[in-house]
């Protein structure tokens, strides 16, 4: 949200804190994180990892409605809110390989097949 000419303290007290307090009502909320500077507030909403994929979009819609419900409490001249909730499910994978070499032996055939079938740059990093 933006509020031109507002101090960071006013922005925090009159906008950010109200949004974060309201969003505490969401049962599947993990945490809210915010960044408030003069004239601008950015609130991140993290859902619990147990939220089912089918429930993610309705939860974001509920977040929108909850912020709209308290909009009348915000100061005059407020611009926004703006939402970025179109990022879908995000997952990360971390692969780790440990290789022991017995003097003079080569890398195992399984590791060689991984190297040739899709992970060469990552595996090159590990093998030097």
Residue-by-residue pLDDT tens, the chain, 128 positions: 888 888 999 999 999 999 999 999 999 999 999 999 999 999 999 899 898 989 988 999 999 999 999 999 998 888 888 888 776 555 555 555 555 555 555 555 455 555 454 544 444 444 44
Write down all domains in the chain, each with its CATH number in brackets.
Answer: 8-73 (3.30.70), 93-128 (no CATH)
Q: Residue 107: CB partners within 8 Å, gap ≥ 6?
A: 99, 101, 127
Structure tokens at 56: 């993610």
Tell me how far apart the alpha carbons of residues 8 and 127 are, in angstroms, rounded to a whole number.
Answer: 50
**What are the CA-CA distances from residue 13 to residues 29, 30, 39, 56 (Å)?**
21, 22, 12, 29
Whole-model pTM?
A: 0.66
Cβ neighbour number for residue 14 with a 10 Å cutoff: 16
Q: What is the pLDDT of residue 95?
A: 53
């Amino acid at each position: 949200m933006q509020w031109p000419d507002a101090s960071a303290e006013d922005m925090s007290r009159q906008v950010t804190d109200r949004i974060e307090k309201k969003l505490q009502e969401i049962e599947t909320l993990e945490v809210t994180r915010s960044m408030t500077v003069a004239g601008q507030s950015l609130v991140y909403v993290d859902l619990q990892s147990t939220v089912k994929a089918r429930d993610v979009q309705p939860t974001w819609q509920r977040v929108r409605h909850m912020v709209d419900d308290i909009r009348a409490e915000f100061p005059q001249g407020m611009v926004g809110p703006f939402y970025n909730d179109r990022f879908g499910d995000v997952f990360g994978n971390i692969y780790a390989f440990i290789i022991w070499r017995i003097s003079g032996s080569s890398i195992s055939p399984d590791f060689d097949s991984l190297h040739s079938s899709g992970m060469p740059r990552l595996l090159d990093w590990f093998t030097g």
